[in-house]
Amino acid sequence: MLFEGKRGLITGAASGIGRATAIKFAAEGAQLTIGDRNLAGLEETAALMAIKPVVQAYDATDYASCRALVDVAARDGLDVLCNIAGLLKWGPSETFSAEDFDLLMNVNASSVFVICQAAIPHLLKTKGVIVNTASTAALQGQPYNIGYSASKHAVAAITKGLAIEYAAAGLRVNAICPGHVVTPMTQNTAPPEGVDWALMMRNAPKLLDGSCEPEDIAEMFAFLASDKARKATGALFTVDGGQLAG
């Protein structure tokens, strides 16, 4: 098993990619703390996991609760941190509110930095690993998606910067860039008025059935968080059914 004896923290575990990753890591022997603002969703995830996790609600916009989440997760030491919680809001840039832009930066980027910052002293003791969640939106300009894309470019910068800062201490930091994944985030977000679909669809997956399932992304989390990826740090790993290939 990949994570026998390892202790981990997974955020965003009430749903989608975070839930699939928590289930995968527990099946591989990890003792986890799972965090999200959706407590009922966390409990549902916990019921699906092979090893019962510690369940802890937090709100990514409240940095004190981010730090408290790490304190709980690291009580007996911490080997792995997966930052997966995130938020999507999009629409034509002329009418996109500054408040929503700030919210995306808070939830998707600033809270990731705060959680990494709180976890690093613990991860240095274990020569641990961080896996963040960026997006294909971290790697290109995306129409109608400026706030989200900016927040995910920030995740890429946080990932690469921390990787360099702590590489000599044995801490690895990587990020995954999923393309379109079938989760509540993408299924429940109705397209806003006034988008040009031809512009949007230039980014469609190229593989037959190219949209990813959450489990496809969980596999990459497991690989990067395990010793199998011991030489990978400071890198962005795309899983997108060929969206960015051309």
Ligand X SMILES: NC(=O)c1ccc[n+]([C@@H]2O[C@H](COP(=O)([O-])OP(=O)(O)OC[C@H]3O[C@@H](n4cnc5c(N)ncnc54)[C@H](O)[C@@H]3O)[C@@H](O)[C@H]2O)c1
Residues at the contact surface with ligand X, assessed by CB under 6 A: 12, 14-18, 36-38, 41, 58-61, 84-88, 107, 133, 135, 178, 180-181, 183-186
**Which CB sits closer to ligand X, 163 or 175?**
175
**Closest approach of ligand X to the CB of residue 127, in Å:** 26
Q: Map tokens 């397209």 to a residue.
A: 191
Whether 148 is a known active-site residue: answer yes
Q: Which of 58, 63, 144, 148 is catalytic?
A: 148
**Which CB sits closer to ligand X, 115 or 171?**
115
CB 125 within 8 A of CB 99: no
**Closest approach of ligand X to the CB of residue 5, in Å:** 27
Among 107, 110, 82, 53, CA closest to 172: 82
Among 61, 66, 65, 5, CA closest to 32: 5
**Which CB sits closer to ligand X, 126 or 215?**
215
Among 99, 104, 90, CA closest to 196: 90
**Which CB sits closer to ligand X, 11 or 31?**
11
At position 82, the amino acid (one-letter code) is C
Query: Residue 151 and residue 154: Cα distance in Å, rounded?
Result: 5
**Closest approach of ligand X to the CB of residue 141, in Å:** 15
**Closest approach of ligand X to the CB of residue 189, in Å:** 9
Length of the chain: 246
Q: Which residues carry out catalysis?
A: 148
